[in-house]
């Protein structure tokens, strides 16, 4: 860790020490835990993945999907 990184870390710790809001501290803890976890947040077995793929293919064949352009309109507008 560089000197600059250590200084930023010290500054952050000092800021946290001055926080009096318990909810904020709990949220900070959740964020730090989420960002520093070593295992992937989601792990599926091969069987679960195959099942999901088959389900998705069935929905696609039945016309239950949303066209790409519709997704773009909804989420990029």
Q: List, for residues 37-60, the tens digit of each pLDDT value.
A: 877 767 889 999 999 999 999 999
- Are 25 and 19 within 8 A, CB to CB? yes
For residue 57, what are the contacts with CB-CB under 8 A and spacing of at least 6?
none
Check residue 76 and give its pLDDT.
86
User: What pTM does this model have?
Assistant: 0.44
- Report pLDDT for 47: 95
Other CB atoms within 10 A of residue 52 CB: 11
CA distance 50 to 53: 5
By percentage, how much of the chain surpasses pLDDT 70?
A: 97
- Of the pLDDT bands very low, low, confident and very high (cuts 50, 70, 90), residue 11 is very high
């Amino acid at each position: 860790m560089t000197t600059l990184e250590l200084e930023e870390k010290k500054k952050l710790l000092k800021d946290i020490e001055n926080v009096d809001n318990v909810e904020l501290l709990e949220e900070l803890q959740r964020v730090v835990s989420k960002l520093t976890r070593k295992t992937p947040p989601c792990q599926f077995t091969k069987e679960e993945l195959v099942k999901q793929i088959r389900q998705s293919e069935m929905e696609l064949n039945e016309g239950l999907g949303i066209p790409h352009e519709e997704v773009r309109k909804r989420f990029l507008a």
